[in-house]
Amino acid sequence: MTRRYLLRTFGCQMNEHDSERIAGMLETDGFLPAEAAEEAEVVVLNTCAVRENADNRLYGALGHLKPLKETRPRMRIVVAGCLAQKDRGLIQRRAPWVDVVVGTHALPGLLELLHAAERDGPQMDVREYTEVFPSALPARRAADWHAWVSVSVGCDNRCTFCIVPLVRGPQLSRPMADIVAEVEALARRDVVEVTLLGQNVNTYGRDLTVPGSSPRPLFAQLLRAVDRVDGIRRIRFTSPHPHDFTDDVIDAMAEAEAVCEHIHFPLQSGSDRVLRAMRRSYRSGRYLEWLERIRTAIPGMAVTTDIIVGFPGETENDFADTLRVVEAAAFDAAFTFQYSPRPGTAAATLPNQVPKEIVQDRFERTRSWSGGPRRCWWRAREGSETWPRAPGPTSSCTCRAISLRGRSPTSACRPRIPITSRQRSLRSRGP
């Protein structure tokens, strides 16, 4: 009898990476993908904890699964990911029909937990440390030409709004040789594009420094090492912290043939007062200086960003500062989020929480404001030449149009085409 699984992923690229490993482990155990929960013996919800609606989505999904579990008691329900790490036993108290809760550090033990649940009832593993990097696990990738490659887990920053250090722990970097070996193996399987993942990817290697010496990131070295792997045509990475975007990383991006001309450069706020309250280690003027330095070194660089509106205490003047910086930065795309208090973070207990209706208004105004610079970016590139990447949607984009890429014609897999005004909506080598 064929056993099937259904896997739903919420959240960031790291969760997509982990979901590919969950699928890989299940398929090595004999499971095949299912189209719907009704035909699945195992349902896995890989969760995010960054925003409040993540909780609502999880418990809403579990509510929908309850009647199905009642009619099919042998079906196993698994909650994995950041919300599993955060809520721990609360999940099974609120939804006692959940069979397995597996946290961010315990993913390698998923099959063992499932087998134990079949024998002994509900299981939970939310250990506080990572013993095996998820990248070492078998994977079922969403695309045969692209792979997520984890270079580190966790984060040493303490931004007051962010729950990631609480659910992913402090930064732990993989040995560079292990990463390069994984990329080489992927290239032998005809993967042409890799995305290097870390909560703060450009501090990769700082924890690998020889004891007694000054800690220093090794991300620039890693970019150059991966660029030397035969067969890899495109290298992306996410997410960096602006403060740690050092000159050696910029040089590596400019010189490495396969590194894509795109950076995700999270701003969060354009108000220096709010940035200080967020515990971000830069101010708006320094941010714009760094951005100019990067664009000077790498012409045609596509830049995307994150913006949070409605942080506690944000005034209309603070918000105006954000719009000013957004205009000056001329981002190619901005991902705008309404501030969401997360239990356990410093900002959750700050006074002067901004009323919901004001947050919503600023959210809408930011979204409309940030669209203009992107249109200007495409108009400036009309008539230039670019390169299509592999066809079809990526896991982070459901658009079925061909995506476009910029520099490195030697790594193209299709003939060049000019950008026209009708193609402005297509994505460059940067997103």
Which value, in Å, is the radius of gyration of the alpha carbons in the chain? 22
Predicted local confidence at residue 370, as pLDDT: 57
Give the Cα separation of 135 and 182 in Å (integer). Answer: 8
Predicted local confidence at residue 210, as pLDDT: 62
Predicted local confidence at residue 414, as pLDDT: 29
Sign of the Cα pseudo-torsion (131, 206, 15, 49, in order): positive
**8 A C-beta contact, residue 231 and residue 194:** no
B/e letters for 33-67, b = 16+ CB within 10 Å, e = fewer, are ebeebeebbbbbbbbbbbbeebbebbeebbeebee
Give the Cα separation of 153 and 138 in Å (integer). Answer: 18
Predicted local confidence at residue 215, as pLDDT: 72
Give the Cα separation of 261 and 389 in Å (integer). Answer: 13
Predicted model pTM: 0.83
Give the Cα separation of 390 and 163 in Å (integer). Answer: 35
Domains of the chain: 3-125 (3.40.50.12160), 141-260 (3.30.750.210), 265-380 (3.30.750.200), 385-423 (no CATH)
Q: What is the pLDDT of residues 349-391, one digit of tens each?
A: 999 999 999 999 999 999 887 555 454 444 454 444 444 444 3
Give the Cα separation of 17 and 368 in Å (integer). Answer: 31
**8 A C-beta contact, residue 195 and residue 146:** yes
Predicted local confidence at residue 213, as pLDDT: 61
Q: How do beta strands 100-102 and 76-81 pair?
A: parallel
Distance of CA 189 to the CA centre of its chain: 24
Q: What single letter denotes the amino acid at residue 151?
A: V
Predicted local confidence at residue 214, as pLDDT: 65
Q: What is the pLDDT of residues 294-307, one digit of tens each?
A: 999 999 899 999 99
Residue spans of the chain under pLDDT 50: 373, 375-379, 381-431
Q: What is the DSSP letter of 174?
A: P
Predicted local confidence at residue 347, as pLDDT: 96
